[in-house]
Amino acid sequence: MAMNIRRQCAEAALKDMLDWLERGGNVGVFDATNTTRDRRRMILDSINKLQYKIFFVESVCEDPEIIEENVKEVKVTSPDYKNMDKEEAIKDFLLRIQHYQTSYEPLSENFDRQLSFIKIFNQGERFLVNKINGHIHSRVVYYLMNIKLLKRSLYLTRHGESELNVKGRIGGNSDLSERGQNYAQALAKFVEQENIPNLKVWTSELKRTQQTSEHIEAPKECWKALNEINAGVCEEMTYEEIAVKYPEEFALRDQNKYTYRYPKGESYEDLVARLEPVIMELERQKNVMVIAHQAVARCLLAYFLDKNSEELAYLKVPLHTILKLTPVAYGCLIEEINLNVESVDTHRERPKNISRSRSIEAALETVPPHEE
């Protein structure tokens, strides 16, 4: 009876995923207990009818310490155990493991050699990869072989206020303002007081991030990939100047900020692709402080907080603030730490009027104040 109910639930979830793919979805993840050959055969039959590619991911863990830590930190915080006593939840899940062991049929490089799959042993101790088929499979393998389940925090902050920030000009490679230099001092003091173990500091190649990091006593690494979005012909211009000189471009960016590419420059979409190696390396690291730029910080924040492309382009990342991100089961904790050093506001919300024929006043409605 119970097995039939579980199978019906699995079939209903699979149908939901396939319906979503048929409506134009790109990649579906069917997260279920597909631990028997019978269950995997059911999945294969359903998916092969629609001619989709399928890739199995199996995680094998035989290390008692890893299992215990995983159950305590991950499983008992799942929705299955909401409002249940922690010790009772641990006992229940360990019984669930024992139950699955009685019917468990692992993927086999002999029996299942016609299938595409990856087996991960003891959270990345070793891997078995079989029959990779296409770009998506290879990207999934790349991601899974790089991700590490480590207790860690990412300290994400923008550079201190720059001279161009004060004037409302975007991009460029200016020095820090006096308040930006004060933030660099305050940031170093914060790091010293927190005494963060094994901290590494990553910056871009641009002066304002390196000047922000110069007082911090920690290993530093410079990444070209962390450079600010390239504004092309609009580099070092104010929003007012762009709206006057390139009114159509200014409107097009407001219409779709994520995909819009500055003439001779980049889009947020380009930036996300550029940051992929940084994200992969962050997944392998313990504690890292990334001193970056507004657009770069938005992309990293969106990855860890699971924000979509429309949300990404308007995430608020104020100057002189640290965002402490701590990955946990089913999400990421975020703590905002303001170091109480004044700065300009560089955040521009999407205006109500995004028409190409709008007035200059309407185009500049949400531009933050700055020095002339």
Residue 99 is among the residues annotated as catalytic for this protein: no
Would residue 299 show up in a list of annotated catalytic residues for this protein?
A: no
- Asked whether 201 and 289 are in contact (CB, 8 A), the reply is yes
Is residue 9 part of the annotated active site? The answer reads no
Angle at 281 between CA 280 and CA 287, to 5 degrees: 125
Candidates 81, 61, 80; CA nearest to 69 is 61
What residues contact residue 59 under an 8 Å CB cut-off, 6+ apart? 119, 120, 123
31 is catalytic: yes
Distance CA 109, CA 267 (A): 43
Q: How far is Cα 302 from Cα 312, in angstroms, rounded to an integer?
A: 6
Give me the long-range contacts of 14-22 (CB less than 8 A, separation at least 24). 14/42, 14/43, 14/46, 15/46, 18/46, 18/47, 18/50, 18/52, 21/50, 21/52, 22/50
Across the strands, what pairs with 327? 332
Q: What values do phi and psi take at 26, rounded to 5? A: -100, -50
Contact 56, 116 (CB under 8 A): yes
Identified catalytic residue from 31, 87, 361, 372: 31
CA distance 159 to 44: 50
What value, to the nearest 5°, has the Cα angle with vertex 306 and ends 300 and 308? 90
User: Which of 11, 58, 61, 311 is an active site residue?
Assistant: 61
**3-class SS string, 311-355:** HHCCCCCCCCEEEEEEEECCEEEEEEEECCCCCCCCCCCCCCCCC
Q: Looking at 112, 137, 159, 299, which residue is catalytic?
A: 159
Q: What is the DSSP letter of 58?
A: E
Catalytic residue among 112, 137, 161, 228: 228
Catalytic residues: 31, 61, 159, 228
